[in-house]
Chains A and B, each alone.
Chain A
Amino acid sequence: MIGWTGRRKSFTILAFILPTLLAITIFSVYPFVFNAFISLTNRSKFRPNPDCSQTIWRIVEPTCWLSTEQRGMAEPFSFNDPIYKNYSDLLGGLFTKESVLALLTIGAIVAPLIVAGVVNGRLGKRLWRPVPGWAVWLAGLIVAVVLAWLLGLGDAYNTLLESGDFIMVNIRTVMYVIVCIPLFFILGLTMALILNNDYIRGRTFFRVVLIVPWAASTVAIMMSLIWQFFFRGNGTINQILANFGIQGPTYLNEDWWSFAIVVLVNLWYTYPFFMVIILGGLQSITPDLYEAADVDGASWWQQLTNITLPLLRPAILPAIVLSTLTTYKVDAVVWGITKGGPVKGAGLPGFTEFVMVHAYKQIFQTQAFGRMGAFAVILFVGLFAATLYSLRITRLTEGAYE
């Protein structure tokens, strides 16, 4: 490490990082602080302007910086009473008796799966397992399904959906993530295993061709429009079906069709990323291990589950965490295809209106600025906590801090 000290050192370091720090403060930190203030007010389409005579807004609000004159005819916005009103509007539905009960129900239904995972982890450390891994998972799954039937998963789900837009949107987004990530992983793994086979010809060609969708994801909004044309009422798919005398549905008007399409298109964009990561991981596994396993007479499946997957873990885990976060924040893919629809009834979030799409619509169509400020603050806390936690479990920055 470079060893000079004193005032000169401080000045030099400051000179190195000041421009970056300044830009980030103005365009990332300040907007966030500003947002946090707005989240405490009733600012909306009807009360868009600040009261510049108040000191706090003279400092925080950019439109007050140049002149304190009152703008517009509408009454200026003011702090809410109680001050956390936007937050309680968004999250309040979670704390009613019914919602807490519903949450507990869902927790009870998921619990057997978590127990199965823990039990399996314990068993994996033993030399000899009394029960195979799949049996533990199956038992957990059966208990979960029975519980879901007994406790009424559907009712709990509906109760939560009715407890507010924010919660509804979040539940659907989480559902979307839960559906997407395993698909990314399975397809990515399958393709990587095939591409890693020395006896397949043209692997370089296929490898390049298969990552083209990943490349297209840099212009996701436009590529999604092209995908949308496939599923229009008289789009490509239905045209092809019509040639065989079949009348296809209007996919984008139906809830689960839209959901499936958004999953499919995101799969198209994202699985190549998994494929490349897994392929890299596969190439770092020494062939000796497989030779030894062959000598012991291990089947292909045993080699996959006992050698390949455990050794891929360090490569895959960061990828899964990273894409869990990006899938939660999905925007352009959905906006290009469904725009959050299909919407059933004015003011209700559409079926594919995931978190970011909801935020975009609320800010620029409903213009409920105060409420969306609270939305942003809550999301920030959640996402930041998730990022820190994911860093801990993946050790992505192990060494990066040093």
Chain B
Amino acid sequence: MNHPPKLGTKIAMYVILIAATLFALYPIWFAVLAAGRPGDRLYTFNLAGMFLPVQWTWDNLRALLTETSFLTWIRNSLMVASLTAITALFIGTSAAFAFSRFKFYGRRGGLTLFLAIQAFPGILSLVAIAQILAAIGLYANHLGLIMAYLAGTLVFVTWNLKGYFDTIPVDLEEAAQIDGCGPIDSFVRIALPLARPALAVTALFGFMAGWGEFFLANILIPAPDAKKTAMVGLFQMANEVNIPWGRFASGAVLILIPVVLIFLWLQRYLESGLTVGGVKG
């Protein structure tokens, strides 16, 4: 339906586009404004201050970095999320390859099991997970949290990479097989190098899932403050009696910006990953 639109239609389209842009960006812009507002206040009685940075201060950011454990939380989150992603990739890639390439008894059942796990929210098995972790002494421990995340991330990684391996033609491996290349060699020497970009993208998605997770982290690491992840730490900051809005907003912006940038860079893969892997987290 690509005719040159009538002038009225065109203006209406631009108005809708601009309204949608404001709708999309204002909440984030608002957080930026709150981060720079003096006096740790969420709002201002000055109407212009709701939309423009009429006053600006770095005090909130400074206070956040020096007076709270924010940097420790960030470090914890980085560690947990990246270790989860790397471990899941390390374990899951070979399974994905097997599910994509080999025919074996229980393969269909295994794939259905993965779907079942994907459908079932992790919160509901939290009691059991917490008890296992308590029994092996990993409750309130980052390692335990990583293990709890691992199950969900593994399913995502395996499905996603299986979808990718399915798109690599098997001809190369068959040619190599004639030359005497076994299944392990064809996995390590042929499929893995070809899948390198998919591995990176999958790892980043796994990382972002761990980075933004709140419920499991909140329960499995209740204390101390220095062990919390960034989401839990900031959430608690926003639920204190006298909420330090400015600091909270600074922290929110600091967490948000890298996520948005990574996501925008990844989104072209997301579309194809969605049709290939077929499962969105």
Contacts and interface: CB of A to CB of B under 8 A. Distances in A.
Interface stretch (A95-103, A116-124, A235-243): A235-243
Interface string B18-51: 0011011101101100100000001111010010
Given A200-B17, A239-B50, A386-B119, A24 B154 contact: yes
Interface string B75-118: 00000000000000001101101110111100010111111111
Contact of A27 (B31, B98, B150, B209): B150
Interface in A274-318: 276-277, 280, 287, 290, 294, 300, 303-304, 308, 318
Contact of A199 (B2, B129, B166): B2
Interface stretch (B63-71, B130-138, B193-201): B130-138
Contacts of B152: 28
B141 to A, nearest CB: 15
A391 B42 CA distance: 46
Nearest to A1: B103
A104 interface: no
A222 B121 contact: no
Contacts of B259: 215-216, 218-219
Contact of A32 (B110, B125, B173): B125
A138 interface: no
Interface string B151-172: 1101100100011001000100
A10 B107 CA distance: 13
B174 interface: yes
B101 A235 contact: no
Contact of A215 (B27, B43, B162, B263): B263
Nearest to A379: B124
A364 to B, nearest CB: 6
Interface in A135-183: none
A198 interface: yes
Contacts of A375: 124
B148 interface: yes
A393 to B, nearest CB: 14
B116 A384 contact: yes
Interface string A59-70: 001110110000
A194 B24 contact: no
Contact of A226 (B27, B103, B173, B183): B27
Interface in B233-281: 234-235, 238, 245, 248-249, 252, 255-256, 259-260, 263-264, 267, 270-271, 274, 278, 280
Interface centre among B1, B3, B259 (most CB of A within 10 A): B1
Contact of A206 (B21, B117, B121, B182): B21
Interface stretch (A15-23, A74-82, A340-348): A15-23
A368 to B, nearest CB: 11
Contacts of A400: 111, 162-163, 166, 278
Contacts of A332: 214-215
Given A31-B125, A194-B17, A219-B255, A280 B271 contact: yes
Question: Interface majority SS on A: helix, strand, loop or mixed?
Answer: helix
B155 A24 contact: yes
Given A16-B94, A16-B95, A376 B260 contact: no
A91 interface: no
A31 to B, nearest CB: 3
B184 A12 contact: yes
A238 B232 CA distance: 28
A191 B20 contact: yes
B126 A363 contact: yes
Nearest to A228: B238
A173 to B, nearest CB: 13
A383 interface: yes
Given A12-B184, A19-B95, A276-B271, 4 more contacts: A194-B16, A215-B260, A219-B211, A225-B252
Interface of B: 1-5, 10, 13-14, 16-17, 20-21, 23-25, 27-28, 30-31, 34, 42-45, 47, 50, 91-92, 94-95, 97-99, 101-104, 108, 110-121, 123-129, 131-132, 134-136, 147-148, 150-152, 154-155, 158, 162-163, 166, 170, 173-174, 177, 182-184, 186-187, 208-209, 211-212, 214-215, 219, 231, 234-235, 238, 245, 248-249, 252, 255-256, 259-260, 263-264, 267, 270-271, 274, 278, 280
Interface of A: 1-4, 9-10, 12-13, 15-17, 19-21, 23-24, 26-32, 34-35, 38, 61-63, 65-66, 190-191, 193-200, 206, 208-216, 218-223, 225-227, 229-230, 232, 234-236, 239-240, 242-243, 268, 272, 276-277, 280, 287, 290, 294, 300, 303-304, 308, 318, 322, 325-326, 329, 331-332, 335-336, 356, 359-360, 363-364, 369, 372-373, 375-376, 379-380, 383-384, 386-388, 391, 396-397, 399-401
**What 8 A-B pairs come out closest when comparing CB atoms?**
A31-B128, A215-B263, A62-B135, A27-B151, A31-B125, A16-B98, A20-B95, A376-B124
